């Protein structure tokens, strides 16, 4: 607060941008030097750790439980033929061909019910007249692979082996590059969305807290309310950039320590340096757009409950916008992609994904200029709403007005 009081005598000579920078520096340092900022940095690590553990455990469970096996209940000589054929085909077919268990003669239905075996079906009868017993969906799925297995088992030894095929691998192909860059585009979109949604909500709690302890009134007495709005928005953006930088350094260290155990994404069409730069720019644009909406919402709300009620529809709409931008990846060149680029809230996601496929730079320059214009419009609208309602108060005995009436109804006279 010392910076604000130090400028009280000069507020008449301070421009709105200068006053906004004073507010931004005050909020930035207050958050950065607080003890809660450490917990803010550690917060995203817990979901990541839980997700990695859950994914690893789930993969292990699927490998142990979902991998059904085929029981072979044939005469010993024919069972040996099937086992030999399975050993020849399994390296080529892998997951398409189930693992087998040789069973003694008996009741196939009883063998399927034994808990110590993970049998999906039982092959019985003979190689000439086979019979596959199991649930309908399992035997339909295995009909083709088991038919190929039996055909290989019936093949006489005199028939020569198939000719050996010489494999000549190329460095890449158009389909391979497109598929690989699609993974890069999708990963970039998801990361951008998670960061914006995770960090944009900070402005809500910060504003409601300061409205509750009357700090906003002190700030409004020193600088214009539009400057308070802009200062808080840019302070939260700067704090978010610090958080992203810390998480990026930690993630890079983990990637470096893990070596080749972590899959490496294909280089985007614009190259990694420019791709990262565009990611920072599009993150800033998306954050300012969504942050201005959240900050305007915070100016309407007086309690945490109202904040949650108002922010939930915005969050759900932003989720739909992200899905729309993701769908535009599969409709390159169509009206869907152009709509995703033009709509301000989906434009950062659509253009960031486009950077992975298209190496042209000029579309990004136009998109950034358009997004900057939209940021200016939304920030101006949010600042006006912020100025109108954040300092509005009424008599204690007056009836409390709803959020809808505060946003769109006539403005009551302040006391």
Quickly count helices (H) and strands (E) in the chain. 17, 4
CB 357 within 8 A of CB 184: no
- Can you name the CATH fold of 67-154? D-Maltodextrin-Binding Protein; domain 2 (3.40.190)
Walking along the chain (415 residues) 10 residues at a time, the average pLDDT comes out as: 45 68 85 80 69 57 64 87 85 78 83 77 87 85 86 66 57 61 86 84 66 66 76 87 86 72 75 91 91 75 70 81 87 87 92 89 94 86 72 46 52 48
Q: What are the C-alpha distances in Å from 259 to residues 69, 251, 254, 263, 269?
A: 35, 12, 9, 9, 24
Q: What is the pLDDT of residue 236?
A: 86
Q: Which residues contact 207 (CB under 8 A, 6 or more apart)?
A: 216, 232, 295, 298, 299, 390
Q: What is the pLDDT of residue 400?
A: 47
**pTM for this predicted structure:** 0.67
CA 236, distance to chain mean position in Å, is 21
Q: What are the C-alpha distances in Å from 54 to residues 41, 260, 286?
A: 22, 22, 30
Q: What is the pLDDT of residue 174?
A: 55
Domain extents in the chain: 2-45+175-408, 67-154
Q: What is the pLDDT of residue 362?
A: 93
Among 400, 27, 395, CA closest to 215:
27
Region of residue 310 (left: phi > 0; alpha: psi -120 to 50; beta: else): alpha
Q: What is the pLDDT of residue 60?
A: 55
What CA–CA distance (Å, rounded) separates 353 from 187?
9
What CA–CA distance (Å, rounded) separates 263 from 54?
19
């Amino acid at each position: 607060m010392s910076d604000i009081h130090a400028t009280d005598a000069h507020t008449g000579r301070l421009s709105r941008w200068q006053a906004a920078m004073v507010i931004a520096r005050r909020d930035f340092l207050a958050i950065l030097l607080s003890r809660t900022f450490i917990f803010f940095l550690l917060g995203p690590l817990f979901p990541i750790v839980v997700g990695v553990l859950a994914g690893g455990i789930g993969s292990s469970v699927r490998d142990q439980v979902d991998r059904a096996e085929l029981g072979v209940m044939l005469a010993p000589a024919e069972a040996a033929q099937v086992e030999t054929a399975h050993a020849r085909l399994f390296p080529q077919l892998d997951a398409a061909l189930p693992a087998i268990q040789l069973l003694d003669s008996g009741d196939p239905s009883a063998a399927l019910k034994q808990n110590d075996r993970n049998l999906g079906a039982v092959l019985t009868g003979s190689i000439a007249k086979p019979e596959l017993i199991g649930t309908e969906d399992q035997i339909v799925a295995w009909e083709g692979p088991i038919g190929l297995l039996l055909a290989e088992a019936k093949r006489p030894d005199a028939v020569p082996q198939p000719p050996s095929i010489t494999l000549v691998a190329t460095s890449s192909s158009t389909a391979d590059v497109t598929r690989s860059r699609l993974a890069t585009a999708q990963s970039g979109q998801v990361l951008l969305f998670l960061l914006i949604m995770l960090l944009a909500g900070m402005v809500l709690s910060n504003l409601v807290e300061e409205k509750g302890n009357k700090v906003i009134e002190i700030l409004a007495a020193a600088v214009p309310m539009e400057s308070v709005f802009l200062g808080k928005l840019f302070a939260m953006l700067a704090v978010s950039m610090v958080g992203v930088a810390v998480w990026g350094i930690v993630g890079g260290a983990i990637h470096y320590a893990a070596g080749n155990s972590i899959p490496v994404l294909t280089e985007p069409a614009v190259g990694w340096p420019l791709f990262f730069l565009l990611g920072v720019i599009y993150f800033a644009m998306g954050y300012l757009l969504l942050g201005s909406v959240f900050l305007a919402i915070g100016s309407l709300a007086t309690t945490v409950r109202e904040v949650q009620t108002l922010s939930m529809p915005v969050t759900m709409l932003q989720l739909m916008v992200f899905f729309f931008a993701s769908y535009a990846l599969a409709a390159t060149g169509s009206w869907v992609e152009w709509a995703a680029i033009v709509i301000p809230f989906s434009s950062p996601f659509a253009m960031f994904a486009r950077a992975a496929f298209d190496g042209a730079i000029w579309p990004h320059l136009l998109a950034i200029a358009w997004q900057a214009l939209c940021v200016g419009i939304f920030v101006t609208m949010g600042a006006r709403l912020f100025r109108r309602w954040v300092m509005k108060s009424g008599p204690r005995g007056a009836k409390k007005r709803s959020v809808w009436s505060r946003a769109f109804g006539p403005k009551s006279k302040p006391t």
